[in-house]
Amino acid sequence: MMKKALKIFLTILVFVVFILLVLVEPIDRTPINETMHYHAWKTFIKQKEFVEHDGAVEVGWTKVNITPATSTPMAGYGNRWGKHFEAVRDSLFVRVIAVKNPKTTVYLLSADMLIIPPNITDRLEALLEDEGISISNVHLSATHTHHGQGGWGLKLAGRLFAGAYDLQTEIRLATQFRDAIVGATKKMASAQISYDRIKDEDNIRNRLPVEGGTVDPWMRNLTFLREDSAQAKLITYAAHPTVLNRKTLQLSRDYPGMLLDSIEQQKGKFGVFMAGAVGSMGALSEGDSDIAWASGVAHGLYSRLVAHNIDEPKILANRIVSDYIKIPMPAQTARISLRFALRPWVFRTFFGAYPTYVKITKIGDVLLLGMPADFSGEIMTELDQYAQQRGLQLVITSFNGGYVGYITADKWYDTDLYETITMSWNGYHAGGYFTEVAKDIIDKFGH
């Protein structure tokens, strides 16, 4: 009897070890400058040339209501388990500002969604081809509200954060994005574009439970003033729109929507909000309810905008660069501990496999880099200084139509955190690698 029990135990043990060997691998800690993807990137960017288009600009804008007509799963909090929304607190939109000069048109798009999912990006690309528009000229982003509609996640991870997949939701959203892009060009007018940034430390915090964390406290804004006196403002800020809690089963734009509502109460004003470097960054506010908290953040930001209005803003040169470049990447894995991760084939099974891109939009000396991730505000601080030393103003936006999880500062890689374990998919030194990518792009345009 004893021998039989031992045999069963050993059989089970061998089976478990076999399964672990098949599914799990140690985390590869090869130094970044010894990796294939790093050298592939360096070869590519050294040879890459960017085309700059000059000439007087015209600007147009529009928004399209994307609120679903019937209840759908909500997207944002995995522990909501795909629950459907029960009410609409405020409508959801996709907003587009189109900037056109004699040789090119750039479309700055942001949707009231958690992210812009890759499958919607692919469908949008096909729709735009029929309109003669390249996806490379569309700067995609999202407000990153955690109270938007779901139903768009194809793989297990997408379904965890966005509920059960629905093909019609994907088709409808891609079509509405296309309609907004086309609609933004229906009423164009000559315009001047200016840039400013406003420091706001009162509404942002580092949400990592670590000592020595930093914040990116800057609102970075592009203002488009047309000859007909109409004005659009593109605003980025890094505080996560997670002010409304998971138990609030209402569609909402969170604090970014409240901020834009304040802007658009003024006649002739239009607003677009893009999530900035939201990785590691949380909103800081207080109130009697989560709605009051969100309102407090929005009011704080709006007050800074109003107080900062300047009589003679710096007008940007009408030189435009628009590109969409693929970034070589290591095989993605899902970390299960500080030392081990699921093998790449397991990751692809549950998360999918998508190419990784950085969207480049440059207007005058303002360089916008659209990242395919929750990009860390801590990294943004270093990159901001690097760009300014080279005569550029850097704006980083997250959720560019692809998604590779969180890009967090490497100093936290061996810390057991949600961002560095659950949502860290890109290997050792991912933060350093994307920092290097951004600096190499900056060097291409700096002077």
Please write the tens of the pLDDT for every residue from 158-184: 788 899 999 999 999 999 999 999 999
The set of long-range contacts for 264-268, using a CB threshold of 8 Å and a minimum separation of 24, is: 268/229, 268/230, 268/231
Which domain covers residue 188, as residue numbers? 1-447
Buried-state track 351-387, b at ≥16 Cβ within 10 A, e below 16: bbebebbbbbbbbbbbbbbbbbbbbbbbbbbebbebb
User: Is-contact 251 67, C-beta < 8 A?
Assistant: yes
Buried-state track 189-205, b at ≥16 Cβ within 10 A, e below 16: eebbbbbbbbebeebbb
Residue 172: the pLDDT is 97
For the stretch 405-417, pLDDT in tens is: 999 999 999 999 9
Look up residue 137 and give its DSSP letter.
G
Domains in the chain: how many in total? Answer: 1
Dihedral over Cα of 438, 220, 173, 86: its sign: positive
Phi-psi region of 254 (alpha: psi -120 to 50; beta: other; left: phi over 0): left
Q: Please count the other Cβ atoms lying within 10 Å of the Cβ belonging to residue 287.
A: 13
C-alpha to C-alpha distance for 20 and 343, rounded to whole angstroms: 10
User: Is-contact 362 319, C-beta < 8 A?
Assistant: yes
Residue 355: the pLDDT is 86
pTM of the full structure: 0.94
**Which token pair is 83?**
């629950």
C-alpha to C-alpha distance for 255 and 32, rounded to whole angstroms: 38
User: Is-contact 152 173, C-beta < 8 A?
Assistant: yes
Residue 304: the pLDDT is 94
Residue 317: the pLDDT is 87
Low-confidence ranges of the chain (pLDDT < 70): 1-22, 310-312
Dihedral over Cα of 428, 330, 439, 216: its sign: negative
User: Is-contact 162 146, C-beta < 8 A?
Assistant: no
